[in-house]
């Protein structure tokens, strides 16, 4: 999986400032960088992109009829190496690529994330805010190595984490 187009911030700087009661002239650029880094950490841990972005995938070679994408939701397939042989099913909940069993890998580009910002899980947005606040209060910059996630943030992420279905052959 490779992100082609970076997304916009799921939590705007102004919303962060309101949530953590920052009224002073804080450095908006630093806060935006903290929010971007916190969003990346939360999205990776939850396997759920918050805002739409283009992502490239390469399926495994060999015979298969179903391949579950490693993240959800998937809005649409933008490009696929063999469009006649594969189609996206259940993109919002359990995105799966289906095709007749044939040999070979399939390359695809998909638009992943939530089309409507109101549909982003609120717990994940709260996790982004809490993580960015912890880093801001501790004076940790986005490029520095951060301490482990706190228990509250881990619980928020765990509640919304995408787990691919277990398929028995």
End-to-end CA distance of the chain: 24
Q: Which range has the worst mean pLDDT, 1-5, 37-41, 139-143?
A: 139-143
Whether residue 169 is contained in a domain is answered as no
Shared domain for 8 and 45, answered yes or no, is yes
Whether residue 155 is contained in a domain is answered as yes
Per-residue model confidence as pLDDT tens digits over 40-90: 999 999 999 999 999 999 888 877 788 888 888 999 888 888 766 677 888
Whether residue 10 is contained in a domain is answered as yes
Shared domain for 46 and 127, answered yes or no, is yes
The rounded percent of the chain whose pLDDT value lies above 70 is 92
How far is residue 14's CA from residue 53's CA, in Å, rounded to a whole number? 22
- State pTM to two decimals: 0.83
The pLDDT value given to residue 11: 92
Cα separations in angstroms, 146 against 16, 87, 89, 110, 132: 19, 40, 38, 31, 11
Shared domain for 21 and 96, answered yes or no, is no
Residue indicated by tokens 């409507």? 116
- 147 vs 35: which has the higher pLDDT: 35
Tally of domains in the chain: 2
Shared domain for 75 and 88, answered yes or no, is yes
Residue indicated by tokens 């004076």? 139
Tell which residue, 102, 92, 52, 53, has the closest CA to residue 69: 92
Half-sphere exposure of 152 (CA within 13 A, CB side): 10
- Domain with 83, as residue range(s), is 53-112
Whether residue 167 is contained in a domain is answered as no
How far is residue 111's CA from residue 73's CA, in Å, rounded to a whole number? 9
Whether residue 29 is contained in a domain is answered as yes
Q: What is the DSSP letter of 143?
A: T
């Amino acid at each position: 999986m490779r992100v082609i187009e970076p997304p916009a911030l799921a939590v705007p700087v102004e919303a962060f400032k309101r949530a953590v009661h920052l009224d002073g002239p804080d450095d908006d650029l630093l806060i935006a960088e903290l929010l971007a880094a916190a969003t990346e950490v939360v999205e990776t841990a939850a396997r759920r992109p918050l805002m739409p972005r283009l992502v490239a995938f390469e399926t495994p070679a060999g015979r298969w009829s179903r391949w579950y994408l490693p993240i959800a939701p998937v809005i649409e397939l933008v490009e696929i190496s063999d469009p006649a042989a594969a189609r996206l099913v259940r993109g919002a909940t359990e995105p799966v690529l289906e095709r007749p069993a044939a040999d070979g890998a399939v390359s695809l580009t998909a638009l992943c994330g939530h089309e409507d910002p109101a549909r982003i899980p609120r717990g994940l947005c709260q996790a982004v805010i809490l993580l960015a606040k912890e880093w801001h209060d501790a004076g940790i910059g986005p490029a520095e190595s951060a301490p482990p996630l706190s228990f509250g943030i881990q619980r928020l992420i765990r509640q919304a984490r995408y787990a691919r279905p277990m398929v028995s052959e």
